[in-house]
Amino acid sequence: MRCDEDIKQVIIIRNDLKMGKGKIASQAAHASLAAYKKVLSLDKKIVECWEENGSKKVVLKIESLDKLNEILRKLEDFNIPYVVIIDRGLTQVEPGTLTAVGIGPWLSESIDRVTRDLKLL
Amino acid sequence: MRCDEDIKQVIIIRNDLKMGKGKIASQAAHASLAAYKKVLSLDKKIVECWEENGSKKVVLKIESLDKLNEILRKLEDFNIPYVVIIDRGLTQVEPGTLTAVGIGPWLSESIDRVTRDLKLL
C-alpha cells in the first residue's frame, strides 16, 4: 500500500448509555489504544502511514447495541480490524457493558462503507 | 520494578475550553496513545506491567492553562513521562491550543504527587 491513501482510526461510542464525559473519554482512550495495538500486530505499514499523516481519529456515536452489532457484522464482512471495549462496570454502567468500539487505523474508504450513517459524537 | 506496583495512565483535559464530548474523546485518545508510545520507548517493562493489570486509565480535568503549566513543571521535576496534545484547531478551538496531556503509564504513587488536587472529568 502507498502512504498517500487516506487512513484513519474511528472510535464509536455508545450514546445510549448516558456516560459522563470523563467516562466517554476513558472508553475512547481504551478503544484507540487497543485498536492501534491490534493493527500494529497485523499491518505495521498501515500504522506507519497513519502516523506520518497525523494519526487522524474520528469519534462517532451510536444509539443502541443492536445498531452497534450490525456495524460489527459489517466490519467482519469487510475484514476491517476492530476491538470492542467491555467495561468492568465499576462506575456508571453495568458490568460487561460494551461501551465503545475502536476501528483501525485502516483505509478510510473501507471504514466509511461501514460507518457512513453514523454521526459525530 | 515489580509488577505488583500500582501503575496507571492519567489523561488531563482542559475543561476551560468547553469542548464537546466528541472533541474531548478524540483529544483523550490522542493523549493516551501518544503517552503510551513515549513510555514504551523509555521503559517497556512498566508498560507490560500496566497492561497485565488492566491498563488503568484515569481522566482528570483542569480549569486553566496556567494551572496546567504548573502540572507540567512538576512532571518535569519528578521526571514523569508525559505528552502534550496541541490541536490544529480545525474545529472548536484555536489553532495551536493545548487541549490535553497524557501521563504515563507510570507509577501511580509518583503521578498522584503531581495530580492529587485535580478532579475527575
Task: Please indicate, yes or no, if residue A40 is contained in any of the structural domains.
Answer: yes
Q: Is it the case that residue A1 has pLDDT exceeding 70?
A: no
Does B107 fall in a domain?
no
Please state the rounded mean pLDDT for residues B21-48. Answer: 97
The reply to whether A35 falls in a domain is yes
pLDDT of residue B2: 65
C-alpha cell at A63: 444509539
Peptide bond into A105 cis (omega under 30): yes
Rounded Cα–Cα distance for residues A33 and A47 (Å): 12
* Cβ pair A32:B33 closer than 8 A: yes
**Is A113 domain-assigned?**
no
**A67 CA: distance to closest CA in chain B (Å):** 19
Looking at the structure of chain B, the number of domains it has is 1
Question: pLDDT, tens digit, for every residue of A8-19?
Answer: 999 999 999 999
* Closest-CA residue to A119 (of A10, A27, A21): A10
Say which of B22, B33, B59 has its CB closest to residue A121: B22
Where are the extended beta strands (E) located within chain B?
7-14, 57-62, 82-87, 97-107, 119-120
Give the residue from chain A lying closest to B20, CA to CA: A121
Residue of B nearest to A18 (CA): B21
* Cβ distance of A30 and B55 shorter than 8 Å: yes
- Predicted local distance difference test score (pLDDT) of residue B29: 98
Asked, for residue B4, whether it belongs to a domain, the answer is: yes
Q: What is the pLDDT of residue B88?
A: 84
- Give Cα A36 distance to the centre of its chain: 10
- Residue A96 pLDDT > 60: yes
Residue A91 has pLDDT above 90, yes or no: no
| Model pLDDT, residue A2 | 65
CB half-sphere exposure, A31, CA atoms < 13 A: 34
Query: Residue A63, Cα to own-chain centre: how many angstroms?
Result: 15
Q: Is-cis flag, bond preceding A81, omega within 30?
A: no
Q: Do residues B34 and B27 make contact, with C-beta atoms less than 8 angstroms apart? A: no
CATH number of the domain within which B52 lies: 3.40.1490.10
Whole-prediction pTM: 0.95
Three-class SS state of A3: coil
* Inter-chain touch B59–A26, beta carbons under 8 Å: yes
Q: Has residue B43 got a pLDDT over 80?
A: yes
With respect to residue A6, please indicate whether it lies within any of the assigned structural domains: yes
**Cell representation of residue B65:** 492553562
Whether A106 is covered by a domain: the verdict is no
Task: Give pLDDT tens digits for A25-64.
Answer: 999 999 999 999 999 999 999 999 999 999 999 999 999 9
Nearest CA in chain A to B35: A33
Nearby residues of B56 by Cβ (< 8 Å), 6 or more positions away: B7, B8, B9, B50, B105
pLDDT, residue A78, reads: 97
Q: According to the model, what pLDDT value does residue A89 have?
A: 77
- Find the domain containing A75 and state its range: 1-88
